[in-house]
Each structure stands twice: as structure tokens, then as C-alpha cells.
Structure 1
Amino acid sequence: MNERWSSEEEKLQAALHAAAQNVSPGPDGLARIRRRTAESPWWRNPVFYGVAAGVATAAAAVVIAVNTLGTGADDLSVSPADSPTSSQTSVPSQEPTTGPVDPTDADPTRDPDDDPGDDPESEPIDPAEEPDETEPPATAERMALPVYFTVDGQVNREWQSVTGTDPLLAAADASLNGTSFDPRYESLWSPVEVISAEVVDGVIEVDLRSPVELDADPELADEAVQQLVYTVTATAAMPLVPEVDGAVPVRILVDGAPADDLFGSVDVSEPVTRADQIDVRYLIDIDSPAYGADVSSPVTVSGVAAVFEGNALWELRRDGEVVDSGITQTEEAFTFSPFSIELGDLEPGTYEITVMEDDVSDGEGPEPRFETKEFTVVAP
């Protein structure tokens, strides 16, 4: 099945790419830790339900197109702009740098090729080795990439601005070795070198250097493999990798040779496809604002969720105090579907937005899943 782009999606991919070109992570970005309070979870408070019951919200347009990442081509994540293709297998000439990506900050009218970030430390080219003029060397640039980590053993996406020349390699390395901006997110892998990641005969080949080890409970070995598979397949579905059209499987190599298994338990002797997202994906994902992002008013929260009857509760806090709350609905129920929350004009300051499942068990079942993002509203 072919990936088709609407005019809105084309505008979005340009916007995300422009945002990636502009993002520079602040020196304190990873040090910002969310506030925790000792009070009982707000979703257990009957007062909230009394307030929320009177709130009727309609699902607005989502800012991340094709947000419901499933196992088919139409469900794959899509995102920004043109970039060197994965056939250009040169490793980035500098360590990849990452930053959170907030799609709402982008200027869709800006040419994404305006500022391709050169590498100031690159060695001069020997004239005898100078490439043909028709094949100039790839230039490192910022790319907005869908990087998957895990929350409570389930995969979840974080859009990151990564500097490099090869989107597949950069995304795989960021997932397995990078640091998420959201402190709840983590990788299930021990650090491992990603030698290459490229599309070969309709299959994504990811070559890892041994040792390849799990940094989690052995029961999460399958989820660790899916963390990598979801990352590279989502990246391959973007126009950054134009030779891929639709869903493709992933072949995992170790030291250049096909691996029979990973972590001593996961069979990877054949190319691996995405597991059904309802089985491996965290049920709530806030795409925008990104964790730690600076935004301006009016503020819109958007993401994707698979929640009972399409209902999700939300709460906005500032300095530990609730300033707003309500109910939002996904576009479809019982499947991963977009949601949107209009917060309107907010005073400058740091806020925390939480979106969570409605507890239909009335406290008798498991704790509802939730997603929290901290963001800062800046003065105009």
C-alpha cells in the first residue's frame, strides 16, 4: 500500500523540518525535573469527575499527520522534508546533537534547505580523492525524527531534532543510545554501536556491533526489539528516505552478519515486522508540546491515544496547582486515534499537562495510564 500525502501533510512535513533546523537544546533541558506532589492521583478525586462531567470538548485538527502508527503502511508515522537518502551511508561527521521538536513553532513558509549545518571539524579533502562533482558529499543537517523509547515496558515516540547525514542511522542511534527529554522515557538496550542502517532490496538492514545486550528484565526482550523496529520503520516512512514506499520489515545484523537471535531469546533469523501497536505501544502519547519546549500562546496540546470509548481526562497544573481540567475525545474509540486540547491563552510560566485514561473500573483495576509533558509559555 502506498503512502499518500495530502496538501496538509505536505505543509506539516515542511513545518516540522523547519522547526528541526531552528531547535537548539538549552543547557538545562535535561536537568529540568517534573514536580511531584504527595497528594493522591488527581484522577481518583471525585471532585474532578464532577467538574469534568460538565465539559464537552470536540476533537480538533491534530498537528501530527498520520499519527496512529500501526502495522500497515497507512499507519506509519510521517514527518518532515527532504534530506539525504539512506543510500548515502556515510556516518555523520560529528556526534549527533538532539533537541526537542515542537511542530507548532514551525514556520511552514521557510525553505528547509536555507541552513544546512556544515561540520566545522571536517578534514580537508585530498584532491586525489575528491568525489565526482555529480555526487557531492552529504552535508549534516538537522532532521526531525520519530525516536522511540519505552514507558512501563511499552514503546512510545518522542520527536527529536537530530543533526546528521543519514536519517535511519541517526534515528536508530538516538533510540538505542540517546537520552530522551521526557524523564519517564527510557531505552531497554545497553549502549551499542550502530554501524549502519540502510534500505537493501526492500528491507531495512540495521547492523550492530557486538556485544548486543539487554538493559532490562528478560521478559522485555521482545519490546526492546520493537523499540528499534518502530523507530527505523517510522523514519523510513518519511520523505527523508524517498526510496521506501510503504511498510517494510527490518533485518538485524550483528558485526555485518545476519543474527539468529537477540538477547538469547528473540528470534530475528527472518526480517522483523512491527508488532500490533495495541500490544506493544503505550496507550497515550502527547506529541505537542514536546517535553521541555518553549511555546507561545495560544497553546494547543495534541497527540494520539487508544482509550476506552475515546474519552481521555486532562489536567493542567502550574506550580503544583490545578489551573484547568477537562475531558477530550479521540477521533475514534478503541484504537490509536488523534486528540487535541485547546488551552487558549496562558500567562508566561512553566506548566505541566497530563492526559490519562478514564478509570472505568472505579479504582478496582490497574492504575490508568497517563502521559505528562512540562512546557514553558514565553512572553510574546
Structure 2
Amino acid sequence: MPGRATPLARGRAWGRIRSKGLLGLLPVVLVLSGCIADPGPGPTVALSTAEASGSPAAPSTSTPLETTQATNKAPVYWIGRSNGNVFLYREFRDVPDQENPVTRALHAMMSDKPLDPDFFTPWQNPKKLATSISGKNVITVDVSADAFNSNLDGDMATRAIQQLVYTATAAAASSGLIDSGQQIQVTVLVDGHTDYLAFGRIRLGTPMSRVAGMVAPVWIIDPQEGVEVPGGSVKITGRSTVAGGKLHWQILQAEANGDKKPFLTGETTAAADAAQSGLFTLNLTLTSGNYELRVSQEDTSGNQQELNVDTRGFRVR
């Protein structure tokens, strides 16, 4: 539903500016290293039989399965950080149409860089990647072992595998290849074989589903990072995992010297009805310039912190 905008006085402190780069993304307990593996415990059990180990603050719901889209853009999930936790975030990407929708979405996930510099992927570009879908809504992904050439701890490996599950199911659903009204599972083969230990942590080969609590609590859908939109009325959409929950938002405008100043601020409420659960929409009047949008959930503790912030930079022409 539309939010309420209030101009802010020039010079008012606007809080934390989001950090850039990979190192700022990773909390202490979830380590991603290109070269050094942590000396943690042994393999993690298969995700089909165990919930992923999230922090206590992680939401208990997963994002609804994507609906059929009248676009060739591929839904791709990335990993990002919010308030010290690590979650999945989605972007829609332009991809070549030579392959089936699931294969090309996974290719993008493993070989491309996210548009948003706050996101990343631990996957490596594989030499071989193929996918198929059975009549029982099971997606089979057959990928070469070089895709797993990153040393991850158990928690990050869990998120990487769920990144693949979310991307594969999103691509199949948004392209209309599967019945989104039924349970959808993903089986991962490595070089045609089951029982591979992904990232040295996760045993593959059995069907896996989306694990609850993996998606970001607050998630800006449009505009995407770095895009240019027409001036005038700018429509912003997003999703919160708290249906009916209150959200705070802020627009910052970039000045000629690169500094950002407060421009608009307001509140909105995520939809509570089942059909639009958690969705929110803002219609803002913005003139030409570069902006950053910040959206966060309401802090009910009284500390007035920005909880589960998502940020997005875009340009208005």
C-alpha cells in the first residue's frame, strides 16, 4: 500500500551508509574464503531431512514461489547480509535464451556478478551444467564438480545449496514449466552421480525443497540496483516476511560531491491478505538525480534501530 512521505530537513543525520564489497557482507560466524577452509566440524546432513541452522532472529517463513512472468528475465538468488545475518535476495537478470529457463538461471547464478554490490555468490562457473524436470515436479540439476571450488563453513555451504534450490525452483515456476500448486523439489547430481559432498559439507543426491528462513526479512523488488527510471511518479515494490508489519523507508539523494542527503522519509505497511502477503508498494514523486532507497522493519524493542535493512541505488532521468 502507498507510504506517507515527509520531506526531511537538510543536514539531518541519516544513519548508516551501507558498506560495499564482499568483506562487509560476511558476519564473523559465516566465513567465505577463496583459499582457506575453517577447521570446523564434519559434513552437514542433507537438507531434505534437516532445517538449516539460522540465527534466532531469522524469520520462520520462506518467500512464496514465483508466479509465471511474461518476460525473458531470469530470477536469480544471491547471498547478502542484513543485521549480522546472511539471507537470500533475488534479482531478475537478462540471460541468453539458448538454454532452458532453469539452466540459464543457474548459469547466471554461478558465473555472473550480482547487480547489487552488497550481494555475492560462492559458486564457480562450471564446465558442465544441465537440468531437467520430471512429471512429479522434481528438478534435476547435473553440474560438474568445479562449481564447488570454494571453501565454505557449514552455514555458508547450507545457504549456497539453498541459493541453488531457490533459483532453480524460481526459474521453473516463473517460466511456467512446473505446477506451482504442488511441492517442488530439486535433486543435484555432480558429474552424473549422487552422494557428492558439496563444498565438503552437504551430502547431495536426495530431493531438496526450499528451507524456511532463508530469504531476506525485507527485500526491495523494484527498482533493481543501478537502473534508470523515468522522472515523475516512481513506483517502488518490495516484500517483507512479516505480513501486515510496519516498515520504515527513506530516500537519500546524491549531491554533486557524492555525499547523500535525506530527501524523503515515511512509513508503510506490508499487505496482510493471503494473495499479496508481505508485499508493499510506494509511489513517490522524484525529480532527476541519483537516489538510494532504504527500507527496514519496525523495531518493536524501543531501541529505534533499522532492523533488517535493504538498500537500493537507482537513477531518475
**Same fold per TM (> 0.5)?**
yes
- Pick from 289, 292, 298: which aligns with 2:226? 292
Look up the match of 2:284: 343
- Structure having the higher helix fraction is 1
Q: In 2, distance between residues paired with 1:347 and 1:228?
A: 39
Structure 1 residue 40: Cα displacement? 3.5
Letter in 2 for 1:160: R
Letter in 2 for 1:343: L
CA, structure 1 residues 316+40, in 2 after alignment: closer, same or farther (shift >3 Å)? Answer: closer
Look up the match of 1:80: 69
Letter in 2 for 1:284: V
Letter in 2 for 1:145: A
Structure 1 residue 273: Cα displacement? 0.8
Superposed counterparts of 1:90-101, under 5 Å: none
Q: Does 1:283 align with 2:223?
A: no
Look up the match of 1:161: 94
Q: In 1, distance between residues paired with 2:240 and 2:270?
A: 7
Structure 1 residue 213: Cα displacement? 3.2
Cα pair 1:172 1:197 within 8 Å, conserved: no
Structure 1 residue 315: Cα displacement? 0.2
Q: Does 1:187 align with 2:117?
A: no
Q: In 2, distance between residues paired with 1:330 and 1:197?
A: 36
- Pick from 205, 208, 221: which aligns with 1:272? 208
Look up the match of 2:40: none
CA, structure 1 residues 324+243, in 2 after alignment: closer, same or farther (shift >3 Å)? Answer: closer
Cα pair 2:110 2:123 within 8 Å, conserved: yes
Letter in 1 for 2:309: F
CA, structure 1 residues 39+352, in 2 after alignment: closer, same or farther (shift >3 Å)? Answer: closer
Superposed counterparts of 1:320-339, under 5 Å: 320-332=260-272, 337-339=278-280
- Structure having the higher strand fraction is 2
Q: In 2, distance between residues paired with 1:290 and 1:363?
A: 30
Look up the match of 2:295: 355
Q: Give the ranges of 4+ consecutive aligned residues of structure 1 lying more than 4 Å apart after TM superposition.
A: 242-245
Cα pair 1:71 1:247 within 8 Å, conserved: no
Structure 1 residue 251: Cα displacement? 0.7
Letter in 2 for 1:342: N
Q: In 1, distance between residues paired with 2:122 and 2:251?
A: 30
Cα pair 2:88 2:215 within 8 Å, conserved: yes
Look up the match of 1:35: none
Q: In 2, distance between residues paired with 1:256 and 1:363?
A: 52
Q: In 1, distance between residues paired with 2:94 and 2:110?
A: 16
Look up the match of 2:4: none
Structure 1 residue 190: Cα displacement? 3.6
Look up the match of 1:374: 313
Q: Does 1:227 align with 2:163?
A: yes
CA, structure 1 residues 348+194, in 2 after alignment: closer, same or farther (shift >3 Å)? Answer: farther
Letter in 2 for 1:324: L
Look up the match of 1:208: 143
* SS of alignment partner, residue 257 of structure 1: coil
Question: What are the superposed Cα offsets for residues 217-270 of structure 1, whole Å, 9 maximum, x if unpaired?
Answer: 332111110000000101111235268764321010111122343222223231
**Structure of higher RCO (CA pairs closer than 8 Å, 6+ residues apart):** 2
Cα pair 1:304 1:339 within 8 Å, conserved: yes
Q: In 1, distance between residues paired with 2:14 and 2:266?
A: 19
Query: Which structure: larger Rg?
Result: 1
Q: In 1, distance between residues paired with 2:184 and 2:243?
A: 30
Letter in 2 for 1:359: D
Q: In 2, distance between residues paired with 1:288 and 1:76?
A: 18
Look up the match of 2:58: none
Cα pair 1:194 1:206 within 8 Å, conserved: no
* SS of alignment partner, residue 198 of structure 1: strand
Q: In 1, distance between residues paired with 2:73 and 2:94?
A: 5
Cα pair 2:190 2:196 within 8 Å, conserved: no
Cα pair 1:359 1:368 within 8 Å, conserved: yes
Q: In 2, distance between residues paired with 1:201 and 1:308?
A: 33
Structure 1 residue 375: Cα displacement? 1.1
* SS of alignment partner, residue 120 of structure 2: coil
Cα pair 2:244 2:271 within 8 Å, conserved: no
Mean Cα displacement is larger for which, 291-300 or 234-243?
Answer: 234-243
Q: In 2, distance between residues paired with 1:158 and 1:216?
A: 23
RMSD: 2.9
* SS of alignment partner, residue 232 of structure 1: helix
CA, structure 1 residues 248+154, in 2 after alignment: closer, same or farther (shift >3 Å)? Answer: same
Q: In 2, distance between residues paired with 1:368 and 1:214?
A: 30
Letter in 2 for 1:330: A
Mean Cα displacement is larger for which, 236-245 or 173-182?
Answer: 236-245
Structure 1 residue 209: Cα displacement? 0.7
Structure 1 residue 41: Cα displacement? 3.2
Q: Tell me, which stretches of 5 or more residues in structure 2 are unaligned? A: 1-12, 18-60, 255-259
